[in-house]
Structure formats: structure tokens, C-alpha cells
Structure 1
Amino acid sequence: MLGCVIHGQGDLRVEELPVPVPGPGQALVAVRYGGVCGSDLHYWLHGGVGDFRLREPMVLGHEVVGRVVSYGSPDASGPAVGTAVAVHPATPCEVCPECADGRRNVCRDTRYLGSAARFPHVQGGFAAQVAVPAGQLRPLPAGLGLRRAALAEPLSVALHAVRRAGDVTRRHVLVTGAGPIGCLVVAAAKAAGAGRVTVTDLLPTALEFGRIAGADILVRADDPDDAGWPSEVDVAIEASGVAAGLDTCLRLVRRGGVVVQLGMLPAGHSPFAGNLVVSREIELRGAFRFDVEFDGALELLAAEASFDGLVSAVVPVREAEAAFALAADRSGSCKVLLDFGDRAA
């Protein structure tokens, strides 16, 4: 079977891999679509994500959907063979203090598909078939197709970030960065009842995807005279992963407001306007991955067809490097999917 393996910075290969054999408690899934995530791009472009560096070849990918092929043991429980499913990519340890506290998304010993956070690395889902714990399979709600369902993982990230912000009902929410995650944060904030959502970005195309996601106001981040700039906002969610975005959030959020840092900043120290956190009593919160939001993401995707507009390209797996290059070019794309199946699937 074919799979996408990263060997080092700039070294992405589509290789023949052995078909995995599911063990006890595992399911074998025939992957149909895999979404190219910003972290996948970082492994390709930089050899790592933040402080997580590649130390061995790794199958990329954690945004995968497909159909159940088989189970590793006759008594395994899960969706019936042939069922269309989304794969929750995290396997928390369930015993650490964070898991015991209900914060499994920051489990200190979690396994996450396609992640170099631990060694040996956890191999990912960009392969024609993958073996995963059966408990991580989620059958798709009625009416939700596999193509749109491929957005479930990044939408879960967005839902968790909005949840970390607290109640946004009728609030003015600022989102810095209109990449795929930023656009999904826009959609998640609107779904949570935000009264107004402003999104900023450097690129006009990215802002247009922000409009598709439901943003009320679009602002060019490099234009201080843009008429859309708010005087202040109630909540700011930083989704660009650059220090300038965090600075914008801290300067525009109201006194006593909440800033959520969602974008992964570069490794090492990042400067930020810390005095504003003190003098305005701003609450600065991190948001990392997700947990129970995955099921809510699938329900939201099933209910709202507008998410289809955020999938800008579907590329056959044999052309994976072209797909990665397209995903990295934010002037012309939003979410790019790899296609591991045939058109009749």
C-alpha cells in the first residue's frame, strides 16, 4: 500500500508500505481522505514542529477518515465493517494527573498519530490502511460524507480553542490568522453564539476563506488604516502562530478580556507585550489539541454544508509533494486533502 513518509526536512516520499495487521483492541481502516495540517507542513519544511524534531522516518497525517475493514480480535467492539468513520488521533494514557483531571488533551504520555513528540515517533495516518485503537473510531452522522468529515480533526482544535475562551455568546471575537485553523475558529465562534467575529490576515485569499467560514469583518493585518480594525474586542484567539499576532490580540482585547494562544509559536522564546497582561488583567490561555470536542465537530459538520467551501483541493496520494506545496501556498488554498481511494469509494 502507499503511504507518505517524512525522512527529514524537505524529504517527503510516497512509499510502498506493508499493510498493518490490527492487534487486539485495534481496527483496520481503509483511509479515503487525509487533511494536510500545518504541523505536517512544518515537518516537511522545517524538520519539526515547535520543539518536536524528527529523529526517524515517520508516516505523517492525523486528519483521516475512511471505512472499517476488520478488527484484530473477534470480540472487538466498534462500528460494523464497511462503516464510514473518522479517526480520533489521540490515545491518552488515562493514568497521569492531567487525564485524571479531565484534561486528556494535555496528557503527558499521550500517543498522537503522526507526531514526533515522543521517540520512537507515533506513525501517522497518511497510508492506504491504518491500524488504530477501535475506541478511536467515530461513525459519521447521517448525511455527512467522508470528504467534509475530513475536517473533523482541525474543527475539533477550533472548538477547543473557543471553549478555552469561555462563553462567547454575543461577544466580539477577534481571530488573528485566516489559515485553515483560523477559518475553522471563525466557524466555531459563530456556532458558539458570538455576536461578531473579526478575522485578520495578510492575504486577500485567506480573508475570503474567512468570509466563507462566517466572519463578519475582514481586516488586512498589514494595513493599520484598514477601516475594519476594531477599537477593542471581548475575546481574541491567536491562530497565526506568529508573535505579531499575539501582540495584536493583547493590544485589542478589552481590559479583563481573554486571549487564547492557539497557533504554535516558533521554538524558543517569543517576545510579547507582557505588561499589558498585568496592567489590563488580561487572561492569557493556551489551547492545545482537543478531546471530547471531536464528536461535536462531526455533528456540526453534518449540520452545515458551508464547510465544503473550505476544502480547496483534493489531490491523489501519488502527488503528495504537490499537495503539500499547494497547502503551503496560502495565497491560493485553504484545506488540501490527500485522496487514498478511488473515485467510486
Structure 2
Amino acid sequence: MDKDNLSVVLHSTGDLRLEQRPIPEPGPNEVLLQMHSVGICGSDVHFWQHGRIGDYVVKNPMVLGHEASGRVVKVGSEVKHLKPGDRVAIEPGVPREVDEFFKTGHYNLSPSVFFCATPPDDGSLCRYYKHSASFCYKLPDNVTFEEGALVEPLSVGIHACRRGGVTLGSTVLICGAGPIGLVSLLAAKAMGAAQVVISDLSEKRLEMAKELGADFSVTVQREDSSRDLAKKVESLLGEQPHVAIECTGVEASAQVAIYATRPAGVIVLVGMGSETATVPLLTATFKELDIRGIFRYCNTWPVAIAMLASKKVNVKPLVTHRFPLEQAVQAFETSRQGLGVKVMLKCDKNDQNP
């Protein structure tokens, strides 16, 4: 193992640097990973451009990246289920304590949870990274490193669909055809949704959504009213959807979700927008809608890996750009400009394959 631990470090708003950092030593319950593939998430770009997301503020230099996979190179003394050479997908959120949220299976909601690339915790966009062994999941031979990295965004879609109660025969509206809208589409279809309609401003993104299995698409015009868009959704489906998954964080999109969803349906809020928004709550009240939030995910990695291994879900088309780690700044700029869907950084200089 060489001493090269090139890392992508955010120092402050707009100040993204490539730096050498020491290779960490794993603790008793940790593993040291040689990173292979790390996707750039919208949150990584947001921290770079704005220095904060809500209450999470970049105050000290922080390694970015949390959509990740790699190969085990060293295991801690207490680790029994992994060995050097194992290929793994990394769940970035690790509970620090056994609190009430951990005990009830909602460890993602623990106030003290460690989460890669969320201040003050460093992420995994580097050559070598150590992580809790319990939150590293072995990849089957037929699942690539890139698919392993995409388990993270796919998990958001799985968690959203679970929160929405998507099941056999469900009709689903997905607002937004960005990466999270697309993985929500994939998850909904895999979980039995009969028909899915997806909306977006971008025709290009909607084309990809159709390729990934969307039954219908709605091209949003900025002058469209929320009520009119809701009527378009109902017209396409022939009924109002059981579930709406809002992935944009845009106020008008949340309004569409409320107007469009059938009485006694469920709306899942995934996209992060303004802290406050104007929405038709009376409509939600009269329709007895359940409005549910999500915060990341929990208990999703095994099912996501099983979906990929069985080929029930194909995330490969989501990767539109690849860059070696040395070109991280260019990769981030590509992602910021929205030139692709998922930009993937390749961290192993001796293996740039998917």
C-alpha cells in the first residue's frame, strides 16, 4: 500500500482543494478501505457553493463524498464478517450511540449520528478511508463498484417508497426527474407500482425517465398552475395517484402533489427547499392526505444490493460522466452545471473501471 491518500477537501464556500492526508488506521470495529467509486451528490455541490445546508455549516476543512464503494485492505481486531479484498458498498450514516432511535430502527434520526461529508464529519472522497465495519456491505460478484456507490441514492428512493407505502398496484406521481426522482422511479417500479408518472422542466431528464420505466411524463412549464398540472397527471393516469413523491423542494411542486394525490393518499417530501412554504393545507385536510417527510434512509442497504444483484433494478444508465480523482474540481463543475445525471469519481488510480 502506497502513501498516496489524495483527498477532496472543502475549506470554505467555493474553496475546493485536492490535498494529501494521512492514511487512517482502523479501530477494532472498523475497516480501512481503498476507495474505488464515489458519486457526487447535490449536497456535496451545495456545501461547495454555499458552505452550508440548513443548520449544517462548514466551519473547518471537510472531505466531501458519501456515495461510495471500495475494497477492504485492513480490518480491525474485532471485525469478523469482512476480510481484505472484499468489495463493499458503504452506508455513510453510522449511529454513535444506542439511543431510542437506534433501538426502534430509526437510527438515521439519532441526533448524534455520524454522517460522511456532513459537518463536522469527513466524507469518503479520497484514496483511503476508514469506516464502521457494520455499515460496510459486501457486494456480490455481479454488482459493480459503481452500482455499489449508487446504493446510496437508490436507498433514498427505497426509503421514500417505503414511507409512501408503495406496493403492488400503486399508482405514483414523482415530482422531479433529477437523480433522486429517477431512483425513486426505479424503486417504485421494483416495489410493484403499476403506473408511474414523472414531471420535470427538462425534456432530456424526462427522456431518461421514460427509458428507465416511467409510464408517463409531464413537461412542466413555469407558467403552469399547480391545479392544471395536477389535472394533467390525473388525465394521464386515468385516476389520481395513490402516492406522490416530491423530489424537487420547490413550493409549486409540493402544491401539485397535494392537488394531484387521491383522497386518503400519501405525499412523501424528499426534496429540500425553503424552510417554509405556502401549500394548500385545507385541500390536504379535506382529502385526509398523509404528508410524510424523510431524512436520508435506514435499513436499506441489503434490499438495495439484492435489487441490483437480481437485476430487478438497473442504475447503470444514471452514470453519465466519469473523472479520475485528480480531476475532482472539473467533475464538481460538471455536476454543478447539471450537464449530466450522476458524475462518478474514480479513486483507485490503478482501476478506473466501472
The structural deviation recorded for 1:274 is: 1.7
The structural deviation recorded for 1:216 is: 0.9
Separation of aligned partners in 2, 1:101 and 1:51: 25
The more displaced of 125-134 and 98-107 is 98-107
Name 1:235's counterpart in structure 2.
243
Q: Secondary structure at the match of 1:41?
A: helix
Opposite residue 30 of structure 1, the aligned amino acid is Q
Q: Secondary structure at the match of 2:282?
A: helix
Name 2:148's counterpart in structure 1.
149
2:61 to 57, 62, 87: 57
Name 2:310's counterpart in structure 1.
303
Q: Secondary structure at the match of 1:102?
A: coil
Q: TM-score, normalised by structure 1?
A: 0.93
Name 1:289's counterpart in structure 2.
296
Kindly indicate whether the alpha-carbon contact (under 8 Å) linking 1:67 and 1:82 is maintained by their aligned counterparts in 2. yes
Name 1:110's counterpart in structure 2.
113
Name 1:215's counterpart in structure 2.
214
1:18-46 per-residue CA deviation (whole Å, 9 max, x = no partner) reads 11111221110000010111111110111
1:254 to 240, 262, 267: 262
1:42 aligns with 2:46: yes
Opposite residue 98 of structure 1, the aligned amino acid is F
1:92-129 per-residue CA deviation (whole Å, 9 max, x = no partner) reads 1352222222211211221111112xxxx111111110
Query: Gaps (5+ residues) in structure 2?
Result: none
Separation of aligned partners in 2, 1:16 and 1:166: 45
Name 1:277's counterpart in structure 2.
284
Q: Secondary structure at the match of 2:297?
A: coil
The structural deviation recorded for 1:228 is: 5.6
Opposite residue 180 of structure 2, the aligned amino acid is I
1:317 to 309, 321, 325: 325
CA gap of 1:36–1:344, structure 2 versus 1, over 3 A, is closer
Q: What RMSD over aligned residues (CA atoms) do the two structures have, in Å?
A: 1.8
Kindly indicate whether the alpha-carbon contact (under 8 Å) linking 1:168 and 1:235 is maintained by their aligned counterparts in 2. no
Kindly indicate whether the alpha-carbon contact (under 8 Å) linking 1:98 and 1:104 is maintained by their aligned counterparts in 2. yes
The structural deviation recorded for 1:13 is: 1.1
Q: Secondary structure at the match of 2:343?
A: strand
Name 2:342's counterpart in structure 1.
335
Kindly indicate whether the alpha-carbon contact (under 8 Å) linking 1:174 and 1:237 is maintained by their aligned counterparts in 2. yes
1:185 aligns with 2:184: yes
The structural deviation recorded for 1:343 is: 5.1
The structural deviation recorded for 1:324 is: 1.3
Separation of aligned partners in 2, 1:145 and 1:219: 33
The structural deviation recorded for 1:293 is: 0.9
CA gap of 1:56–1:271, structure 2 versus 1, over 3 A, is farther
1:97 aligns with 2:100: yes
The more displaced of 256-265 and 164-173 is 164-173
Opposite residue 179 of structure 1, the aligned amino acid is G
The more displaced of 270-279 and 219-228 is 219-228
Q: Which runs of 4+ in 1 moved over 6 A?
A: none
Name 1:80's counterpart in structure 2.
83
Separation of aligned partners in 1, 2:97 and 2:211: 38
Q: Secondary structure at the match of 1:295?
A: helix
The more displaced of 335-344 and 314-323 is 335-344
1:285-307 per-residue CA deviation (whole Å, 9 max, x = no partner) reads 01111111111111112222732
CA gap of 1:320–1:344, structure 2 versus 1, over 3 A, is closer
Separation of aligned partners in 2, 1:29 and 1:134: 10
Alignment identity in percent?
35
The structural deviation recorded for 1:130 is: 0.4
Name 2:252's counterpart in structure 1.
244
Query: Gaps (5+ residues) in structure 1?
Result: none
Opposite residue 263 of structure 1, the aligned amino acid is G
Q: TM-score, normalised by structure 2?
A: 0.91
Name 1:24's counterpart in structure 2.
28
The structural deviation recorded for 1:168 is: 3.0
Q: Secondary structure at the match of 1:229?
A: helix
